[in-house]
Copies of this chain bind each other. A is one copy, B any other.
């Protein structure tokens, strides 16, 4: 197979389909989403059979239990995909929204219209349900999609792709509006990220290594999500009860998510009072503490090294540092944070305002758990990822992040003087 020729054909088809999807009505796109849900429901046995092949091959290739678990399409996971499609269908259509229409002194009326980006390339790892999640968000927002899943899940992804193709056809949309790359050859990724003539943006979903490689080689803009090294800073003006419940929730609600707190900062003025309370709550939850020297003078903790301030543990481990007030906290965060999500616990108005302004992260919070940094919690309805980039989309990326705005100008024969 000539990978370059194949990907070029996929790209051309996507570009042609994108024009038709962009022109389609809300009702047509919703119909395609609901029809796909129906197809998945009717194809449960085919999906499970295709998935069984992937699982079998995965076991033969020695995938570990965690990988196999992520790969598996259980009946519950198929339910979740179906439910997800229905939810996306029920979201408001972002496309065509016109805002900010104003008359200019010249007499023209100028505003902005929300439009699809065009063709979105999604590169992801083993979870086959991403195929449906990503395709549905791209379709709802009027885009064509090229999906490149992990080679371990190729059979599952192709089976899901079949359902999406039938759903698209039922709504009268081209089947090429959502294409799953049919080869597991790695060269296909290299092509996908270097075809700016066919692909408008790449959204990689996977580990930091994958995303760094893609960003490095891409000739197409990448909406990237690197790591989540999130902080909670307990200020001397914190309400101790709020500090305790927010810090415990931010760390222990789920260990493996990118919005989980990885480092706890405590103002030195209250460290002696509050650190013992925090420590006993964390120890009770089975969290290992790694502290700076001042921390270890107050509570029992493993000695933290420089590497701990940069670590995204994704595990029941927490770095703890005593800092010199708000300035110390901001300095630490702006040095070590991955600019994902950081929260201050304080009752002090001026300190809250300074934290919001001076911490340069995609989500900054006051008296709230970092775990809220999420598309659903923010009311975006869905999320294709959390961007740690600064341009285009920052923080949780929903449908709007898959769109752009063009200018519209209404005149009545107006000419420029």
Contact = CB atoms under 8 A, between A and B. Distances in A.
A379 interface: yes
- For A96, A216, A253, A360, the residue with the greatest tally of chain B CB atoms inside 10 Å of its CB is A360
A148 interface: no
Given A106-B377, A369-B415, A390 B200 contact: yes
A219 to B, nearest CB: 7
B356 A413 contact: no
Contact of A414 (B113, B367, B391, B409): B367
Nearest to A368: B411
A365 B110 CA distance: 9
Nearest to A103: B379
Interface stretch (A37-45, A73-81, A158-166, A399-407): A399-407
Interface residues of A, number: 69
Q: Main SS of chain A's interface residues? A: mixed
Number of copies: 2
A245 interface: yes
A409 B366 contact: yes
A90 interface: no
Interface string A91-130: 0000010000010101010100101011000000000000
Nearest to A107: B368
Nearest to A415: B249
A239 interface: yes
B378 A104 contact: yes
Nearest to A396: B407
A82 interface: no
Nearest to A361: B406
A360 B113 CA distance: 11
Contacts of A241: 413
A391 B394 contact: no
Contacts of A365: 408-411
B415 A102 contact: no
A151 interface: no
A301 to B, nearest CB: 23
A221 B412 CA distance: 38
A334 interface: yes
A392 interface: yes
Interface of A: 19, 22-23, 96, 102, 104, 106, 108, 110, 113, 115, 117-118, 200-201, 216, 219, 221, 223, 239, 241-242, 245-246, 248-250, 253, 334, 343, 356-358, 360-369, 371-373, 377-379, 389-392, 394-396, 404-416
23 contacts: A19-B358, A19-B360, A22-B358, A113-B364, A117-B391, A221-B221, A223-B391, A242-B412, A242-B413, A245-B415, A248-B415, A343-B409, A361-B406, A364-B407, A366-B409, A366-B410, A368-B415, A371-B416, A373-B407, A378-B407, A391-B391, A391-B392, A394-B405
The 4 closest A-B pairs by CB, nearest first: A368-B411, A242-B413, A249-B415, A371-B416
